[in-house]
Amino acid sequence: MMKILIVEDEKAISNFIRAGLESEGYACGQAFDGLAACDEIDENKYDLILLDVMLPGADGFEIMEYIRPKEIPVIFITAKAQVSDRVKGLKLGADDYLVKPFDLTELLTRVEVVLRRYQKGKTEFTKAGVTVNLDKRTCVKDGREIPLTAKEFDLCVFFMKNAGAALFRETIYERVWQGEYTLDSRTVDLHVMRLRKKLSWEGTLVTVNRIGYRLNA
């Protein structure tokens, strides 16, 4: 589930945004001033930040400087429609800009576009102590590259992208091997065993009774 942090000091607006995002299946966190926002960003993993410019504590531009090295996409939200503010926000690395008042549909569309763009451009990610790079097709654990076969790599990425969810053998097979699953197929189990061993994922990549597997992360 995608997690979005709403940084907005006006509670009514923050709650309005939250309700809208939650109705679309996003998980939300809220921060009502600049410092609380920095704490939230340090303590939780967010996929996107909606950032109001005028905030008590530290303003949105200052927080942007803080967020940038963390590579979390940001959509600025502001009442100010001045061009200079937009330019400043985008120069600082914001992904998009929303001017208050905006309607929910506009917000949701922009959120979706930014998230999609970001996921597409994201070639490297880390889960369960393992970092994969989709361009280089490398898999690194504890600073050491782990050699994986093509299917093991695809399987590993599939588990990482769906971390926390129990995945049916059928689903795994269909998505990774892109073929029809037959009940007597041991392919998935064999590959999972190999992957578990290579990445020392015993206790991390677990068997789920009568379903399949789950990567705990």
Residues of 23-45 as b/e, b for ≥16 C-beta within 10 angstroms? eeebebbbbbbbebbbebbeeee
Show the binding pattern over residues 33-52: x = contacts Ca ion (CB under 5 A), - = does not. -------------------x
Token reading at 135: 């361009």
Quote the radius of gyration of the chain (alpha carbons, Å): 20
Is 9 a binder of Ca ion (CB under 5 A)?
yes
CB of 26 to Ca ion, least distance (A): 21
Residue of 144, 141, 148 whose CA lies nearest to 204:
141
Residue number, 54 or 99, with CB nearest to Ca ion: 54
Contacts of Ca ion in 97-136 (CB under 5 A)? none
- The number of residues that bind Ca ion (CB under 5 A) is 3
CB of 55 to Ca ion, least distance (A): 6
Q: Which of 54, 72, 99, 104 binds Ca ion (CB under 5 A)?
A: 54
Contacts of Ca ion in 135-164 (CB under 5 A)? none
CB 26 within 8 A of CB 46: no
C-alpha torsion 21→85→120→206, nearest 10: -50
Is 13 a binder of Ca ion (CB under 5 A)?
no
Residue number, 11 or 197, with CB nearest to Ca ion: 11
Binding site for Ca ion (CB under 5 A): 9, 52, 54
